[in-house]
Amino acid sequence: MTPLAITDYRFQISPVGIEFRADLDFDTWNTLGEKLVPVGRAIGFIIGDWINYGNGRYGQMYEEALAKTGLTYQTLANYAYVARRVQFSCRQENLGFEHHAVVAKLKSPDDQKHWLELAGTHDLSVRRLRKSINYGRLATEEEMTEGPTERGHETYLVYINQLLRWWKRETGKAPVDTWDKERRDGLRRHFSRIAEIHKAL
């Protein structure tokens, strides 16, 4: 990420904004934006990581520091939750904190990374990312203009896609015919339940 290290006599950054004291040429103005935007995207993680570090390091003592931020408890709790749930290695610089908040509910870091990479590749809005996760696949533009869908009807796709990604990952590590008999028998018993659903249809 781009560090925020800005000193310039032509403007001053304060907690309430930027005060411009002289004219900026285009390159200076553009460079300033290039430094500000990544920090704006990262601020939730920066504060969240700070809170989680303080909680782990100082315990109850960190609550006094939190009180001095002036932010609401819910805001701080949300920052800390997302920062705790989404590992540093999964975070995507080109996406906002809100995108990461959407995937924070997913248990698997692999699933989080999958959806974040999909969001980055397809330039998904937060709403489209959320809907795609509910569908278990990339939501089309047409589907984004439709009315609300019954979530219960679509949610099973999430689990099917998770299962398929798991299968691809495991078979990529070692071919099925190299797995020991106990593992294969156990999986066969578990997957027979899915076969029962398929047969009932």
Band (117; pLDDT cuts 50, 70, 90): very high
pLDDT of residue 91: 93
Q: Any idea which of 36-45, 89-98, 109-118, 147-156 has the lowest mean pLDDT?
A: 147-156
- Whether the CB-CB separation of 35 and 4 falls below 8 Å is answered with yes
**What's the token pair of residue 102?**
């959407």
**What's the token pair of residue 39?**
């920090």
Burial of 132 (0-12, 13-18, 19+ CB in 10 A): buried
Q: How far is CA 144 from CA 93, 110, 125, 139, 194, in A?
A: 25, 25, 10, 7, 30
pLDDT digits (tens, 9 = 90+) for 179-188: 888 888 888 8
